[in-house]
Structure 1
Amino acid sequence: MRLLLDNNLSPRLREFLEGYDVEHVRNLGMAAAPDDEVIARAEQDRRVLVSADTDFGQLLAVSGARLPSVVLLRRQSGRRVEQIADLLQRNLPQVAEDLSDGAVVVLTNDEIRVRHLPISSV
């Protein structure tokens, strides 16, 4: 799976996500890029966007887009990079098919929620 880490996540997270093709927006010169440009880059590069920013789910809902998929990490402030990596490593395999088809996946320490794209207002 190809992942794009948002600016609100440590670039060090890349080191701990074994078995994944991981880029960080900072490495792409996009540290200050607006959310819509980050989404466009994730779609262009066929990557799943990983972020703690709930605005991405909102942007996808408004646009009616089917891709890119987004993994939203909730309640992770104050967590060490290793702990966040462990959360992703344990849960990404379970939602891989959903992410491949287009989804917003919300991960907390004890819950996974999946919303398939496009997100309709009905």
Structure 2
Amino acid sequence: MRFLLDANLSPLIAACLTEAGHDTKHVRDVDLRRASDEQIMDFAAEHGFVIVSQDTDFTNLLHYRKASGPSLVLLRNLPEVTAAQVSSLILGNLDQFEAALVKGAVVSIVGDRIRVRRLPFQ
């Protein structure tokens, strides 16, 4: 899986996901550190990345664009956690939602719950 981490997440998460065998970039790695959400979304769609973020603006953009991608992993209301813990949370649950991400989905991880919504939103 190809992941693109938003600026609001630690680059250490990208390192952990890469170490687990995933093609993972942080926005700073692709010169998008100061890019708008729209630019990040366009880059992810063009290059086949799933966006990983804590920013709900990506969900809003997908809704307004009636877009079927890129997919998004949205990390919500997580307590103070380390990069390794966030990586483990994603990797430990990836088998539950990987197929949906491939087809186009928003996966919200909220504490101990996971919600998968298919794209485009109806």
TM-score between the two structures when normalised by the length of structure 1: 0.94
- Map Cα deviations across residues 10-57 of structure 1 (whole Å, 9 max, x no partner): 011122111211011011111110000000010011010000001101
Per-residue CA distance 1:56-107 (angstroms, 9 max, x = gap) = 0111001001010000001225211111011011112210110011001001
Write the distance in 2 (CA, Å) between the matches of 1:15 and 1:70.
19
Q: Spell out the pairing of 1:1-122 with structure 2 (5 A cutoff).
A: 1-17=1-17, 18-120=20-122
Q: Given residue 119 of structure 1, which amino acid in structure 2 is its aligned partner?
A: F
In structure 2, give the amino acid aligned to 1:6. D
Residue identity matched to 2:7: N
Identity %: 43
Which portions of structure 1, spanning 4 or more consecutive aligned residues, are displaced by more than 4 angstroms?
Answer: none
3-state SS in 2 of match to 1:115:
strand
Structure 1, unaligned stretches of length 5 or more?
none
State the SS of the aligned residue for 2:92: helix
3-state SS of 2:21 partner: coil
More helix by share: 2
Q: CA deviation at 1:109?
A: 2.5
Determine the C-alpha separation between the residues in 2 that align with 1:9 and 1:76.
12
Letter in structure 2 aligned against 1:8:
N
CA contact (8 A) 1:87 1:109 kept: no
